Every structure is written in C-alpha cells, then in structure tokens.
Amino acid sequence: MEYVLVTPRSLSKSGHPSLEKIRAAGFDIVYPSPGAQPTEAQILAAIPGAVAYLAGVEPIGAGVLEKASKLRVISRNGTGVDAIDLDAAKARGIEIRRAEGANARGVAELAFGHLLAAVRGISSSDAALKAGGWNRQKGRELEGKTLGLLGCGKIGKLVARFALAFDMEVLAYDLYPDSAFAPPGSFRFASFKEVVAGADFISLHCPPSPDGRPLIGSSEIAAMKKGAIVVNTARQSLVDEAAMLAALENGQIAAYTIDAFDIEPPENRAIIVCPKVIATPHIGGFTDESVDRATDVAVDNLLDSLIKKKTIGLAR
C-alpha cells in the first residue's frame, strides 16, 4: 500500500480525526518519530516509499528529496515553507502546499500574550512568588503606546486589531502592504526604519530572509527606543541573538520573547535562560482550534494533490 509520512508533533503523538481521510483514500500512514521532531536520518529511512508528506517544521533538504523517488506532494500544516529546499522540490516535480492562515489566530493571540507578559513582568513575578519572594515589578500600560509590526499578513493583521482594542497606535511594515486593510483606530503602514525607530514594542510576523541574515541585528537594535520590547513568535533566525543578549544586558532592550526555534528542542539555551527573556516551546499554533483547522486544510491539500497527480498520470 502507498503511504503518507506524517511528522508534525501535534499529529504524530496522538493522531487526529482528519487523518482518517488519508486512510479512507487508500493510503497508509507512517510516523517516523511519534511525538518528536524527526531527525534527518529518520526521514531518510522513511521517505523512499512515501507518495506524500504531511510535514512539520523539520528541515527537508535536497539530500532528503533525492531519496524521495515516489513523492508527489509536501503539505505543510502551517504557512512557513522556509525549511524546505524549494528548488530541489521543484526540480523533482514535488508540489508544495501550505495551510495558509489556519493557525493565524493561535499565533496572534500568543504574540499578544507574550507582550502582556513582558510588559507587566508576569513570568518573573510568578517565578519569584513561587520561590518565596515578594518582588513587585513596576510595569507599563499599553494605552497610547506604539506597537510596531514587522510583517502584516494574516497574523500581523490580527495582532494589529488586538493592539488597537487596547487603545494602542500601530505602525506596520510589510513588503506587500495590503491597502485594503484599514482597521478603525490609529493604524498605518510605514517604512522598516520608521517602524523600528518609532515603536515602543515590536512584534515579528514575517519569514526569514532567503540569505539567512537576521532581520534584527545590532544596528536595528541600536535604532530602537531604549527599553523597547521585542516579541518573536515567527522564527529564531530573524534575530541576531548575540546582539539581543548584549542589548538585554545593557538595558537597550527591556525584554525579548521567543516561541519558535531553528532546532527543537533548542540545543543552545543562552537566550532561553536570560532573566529578561520569555520563552515558550513553539505553542503559537498549538491550540485545539488551530490544530484542527491546520490539519483539515493540510490533509485536504495533500489529497487534492495526490488525486490530481494520479489523474494526470492516468491521462498520459
């Protein structure tokens, strides 16, 4: 029987009702690493017989795709495809499908939760109190403050609306600004430099640069307001962590939050253990609702591609 690889941790650990549609279509399901992000070796061992791949955030490089002799489609249960070697996939005729916007609400809510936790010192206050201390940390209110968005797609737009509901001002930078997006309140699109320099708080909602260079490095941090807070629920590689740690130490940045890591669990924990950092284990899209939406879309995309390619093959 032809089989489908399924690697997202939220699915490989406990399954999902939508996966039954794959079996009903006549395909078996293989989990290379149930409940964990698969290693390259585990993917290589399973990929040769797979006709489709429901993928998580693990890297899928040219070396893996060279072994994928039967693979017709890679379907992500999210939006980002930066971990996939798209050129190698195209060369082999492998279709790439994305569950666009399916987890936007979950990620946006977590991003705003990170901001609230950072601006009020919720995590550090909780830890101190549980340790027997009584450390009252003075916070800041959001009203009248400026939130800068670097990336204003489906997630960024939701975060903008949340901020406006808190009577904040919002500046947004996007490579392709949506002129139709004009929420009520103080919102406008601006240049990258204006957002970085003018915001009290900055939230990242964009993919990594193709050349791998951080979006936020030492020069961008230096241009920010002293005491700014940076929220990163997008990708670890967007931020130069050495520069960020130095800025946290000297007070240029008041707090930094992160949810997604290049390697999960992360091997380098320097940023995580910093007292001014709030870190969560990639839970942005890990809600009942987001998982359901993303899985439904990813499975439907996968089956659509399989059936389409099979039909094309029969026609030939």
CA 149 to chain CA centroid, Å, is: 15
What angle do helix axes 104-120 and 288-315 make, rounded to 10 degrees?
150
Amino acid at 227: G
Which is the catalytic residue, given 76, 97, 98, 282? 282
- 50 forms beta bridges with 3
Which is the catalytic residue, given 235, 267, 269, 293? 235
d(CA 42, CA 46): 6
264 is catalytic: yes
Which residues, other chains included, contact 302 with Cβ-Cβ below 8 Å and sequence gap of 6+?
4, 22, 52, 54, 73, 75, 97
Which is the catalytic residue, given 264, 267, 269, 289? 264
235 is catalytic: yes
Backbone angles phi, psi at 254, to 5 degrees: -80, -35
249 is catalytic: no
Nearest to 264 by CA among 242, 245, 280: 280
Nearest to 3 by CA among 27, 31, 34: 27
| Catalytic residue ranges | 235, 264, 282
